[in-house]
A = this chain, B = another copy of it.
Amino acid sequence: MNTSEFIYLDHAAATPLDDRVLDAMRPYFSDLFYNPSSPYAPAVSIRRDYEAAKQTIAECIGATADELVMTAGATESINLAFGSVNGHVISSAIEHHAVLAATRQHDHTLVDCDERGRIDPQSIRAAIKDDTMLVSIALANNELGTLQPLRDIAEVLRSEREARRVRGNTTPIYLHSDASQGVGQLDVNVARLGVDMMTVNAAKVYGPKQMGLLWAQRHIPLTPHIVGGGQERGLRSGTENVAGTIGFARAMQLADKGRKAEAERLRELRDGLEKRLMGAFKQAVVSGHKKHRLPGHLHISFPSVDAERLIFGLEARGVLVATGSACAANKGTRSHVLTAIGLAPEIADGSLRISLGKLSTIENSAQAGDILIDVINNEIDRMAKR
């Protein structure tokens, strides 16, 4: 897939397009390029391929195709979900910038998390007001990898619905989750997660960029965020992204099929790397939940070391890794997530987010371990000499 000379440890920021996904998309670039709304048979056949791809995607999350709205990515999906409610919303202090920005457009409450980045369902319960319409919590935090107790949060909402029914309050309340970081490593069946709306981003699962979806239960009245020709049952106008959706379907299939084995493989690689780094640096701090964490994810801090210097030292040795989330990376501010979990500044500023994925192997993970230890030691030595 990737012939690069780099060891890539940043799968949470971006994933390469899987060759099998590109193969699935290829016919739709120059040959089957027709507008799926055109009336002639070759276009109708493309419409059918498009609908079949949506069906495939739906099956991977335990939904039906007519509950999906295809979008240009997770950010648009989140905007669509939030734009469909006009009351109070609840989110958490450690959500992705897309959710935080959408949250700020409403009367809102941001609940806190514990020091491992986990959100207490009771804090959600406490934040619910009579006009709360949406609770949005990511399945897995994109910096820490911590998994959230969505089922328990769903239970809080279920009991709130029941209480509202008794009180005669007809305001609906929905649970939305951005599951983009979980697909391919976690179970993302919407019924088992207990969510009412879910966002998935193809770009995080070795699918095409600028391709996402919002799944919403059939009874939820979505408000179109982009109006026009009335595509996607009037919920998202613009000529359908046929090639992108075909690719998304293939990516979801591949993610779904290999999920358990891949999660196990990544967990072993991650645990190995974590053990080596913790062995080499006694002062290192691993953040995020020990147990409820993305298998391929390791957030580790080296107190008093400058993570930005590490990034460049590592890059010079061929290792690509992130400090904080990629979205925030070029803004020069301290991660809001690390602030929220109460990580001391001198620890937070020495944080690396290591996210393993399909490009990770036993060999290059071991090699990455060597290089990480070397570069971090050099940096510690350099600081000691100052």
Contact = CB atoms under 8 A, between A and B. Distances in A.
Contacts of A3: 31
B14 A244 contact: no
A84 interface: no
A170 interface: no
A308 to B, nearest CB: 7
Q: How many copies, total?
A: 2
Contact of A320 (B38, B97, B314): B38
Contacts of A323: 39
A327 to B, nearest CB: 4
A79 B33 contact: no
A311 B43 CA distance: 12
B40 A320 contact: yes
Interface residues of A, number: 74
A62 interface: no
Interface in A242-296: 242-244
Interface string A315-347: 100001111001111110000000000000000
Interface stretch (A122-130, A181-189, A221-229, A371-379): A221-229
A237 interface: yes
A249 to B, nearest CB: 15
Nearest to A6: B42
B14 A227 contact: no
A15 interface: yes
Interface in A7-37: 10, 13-19, 22, 29-31, 33-35, 37
A200 interface: no
Most chain B CB inside 10 Å of its own CB: which residue of A29, A322, A330:
A29
A367 interface: no
B22 A30 contact: yes
Interface of A: 1-4, 6, 10, 13-19, 22, 29-31, 33-35, 37-43, 71-76, 78-79, 96-99, 101-102, 105, 203, 209-211, 225-230, 237-239, 241-244, 308, 311-312, 314-315, 320-323, 326-331
